[in-house]
Amino acid sequence: MRYIKWAHFLSLDVVLGAVLFQSFLYKSLLDQWPSMAILCALAAAVGFIYVMDRWLDNRLYSPEDERHVFFKTHPRQTAAWAIFWMLLGMGTLFYLPIYLIQFSCILGLFMLVYWWAWSQSWFTSVHGLKEFCTAFLYAAGIFAPIFVQLEGCTKPAVFCFLALHLIAFQNLYLFTRVDDLLRWLEIFTGLFLTFLAIYLQDFMLVVPFFVTFGIHVVLRVRGLGLRSSLIAEMAFFSPLLYLMYGIISK
């Protein structure tokens, strides 16, 4: 159980969820699987960003939850993971197409602006802005190779991007505060996912979004805690349902 907690504190569940969602979206929108280099690049980016984000939080504010306390009390372990993610990301550069590297550099610049704005406490002036921006960067990182491969933005891709952004925003906001904005977000997300299912005319393509969304609603109703945060991150493993359906239906 201790190692499961450590994996959760290091956001390894977030990394796995991002990789699964990218695999699902890549396959459903492009009808092909992403290369191992693309998946490793995403894992490295998500893992490194989450480590850096925790470090920045601890420099600006006193640790308030177990995740941030873990980073405060285990500096060597967290530094080792940061180095691992950095080396993994650098290794993938030799195998990624140049246009994807260029797109990723643009996202990296946005990430630096995000961190600078956070260090200047800009996000505290607007309710939910930090969670909204974090969710946008998360979704953009997952969709980067998809948009590049499509050489543009098709309506299904844009709608799926918005769906992922909404459930990521729901996840982040849920563990920040529970208020009327969260309930309105749940209503809007539920309606948007219903629209997406009707538009795509393929319910299985929307199942991972609905499952992730539904688990977060249940967690909000039942109350929050460390166990709830672990379940919330594991909710992003829902693309396994689509991938298993694809194997069984063949």
Extents of the domains making up the chain: 2-248
Residue 181 binned pLDDT confidence (cut-offs 50, 70, 90): confident
- Give dist(CA 92, CA 41) in Å, integer: 6
Residue 4 binned pLDDT confidence (cut-offs 50, 70, 90): confident
Burial of 200 (0-12, 13-18, 19+ CB in 10 A): middle
Q: In degrees rounded to 5, what are phi and psi of residue 122?
A: -65, -35
**What's the mean pLDDT in 207-224?**
89
Q: Is 194 left (phi over 0), alpha (psi -120 to 50) or beta?
A: alpha
- pLDDT per residue as tens digits for the range 83-101: 999 999 999 999 998 988 8
Which stretch of DSSP H or E encloses residue 3? Answer: helix 2-9
Q: Which of 23-27, 32-36, 107-111, 174-178 shows the lowest per-residue confidence on average (mean pLDDT)?
A: 174-178
- pLDDT per residue as tens digits for the range 140-172: 999 999 988 886 678 999 999 999 999 999 998
Mark out the alpha helices in 74-179 (DSSP H runs).
75-92, 98-119, 129-150, 155-174
Nearest to 16 by CA among 108, 142, 134, 104: 142
pLDDT score of 218 more than 80: yes
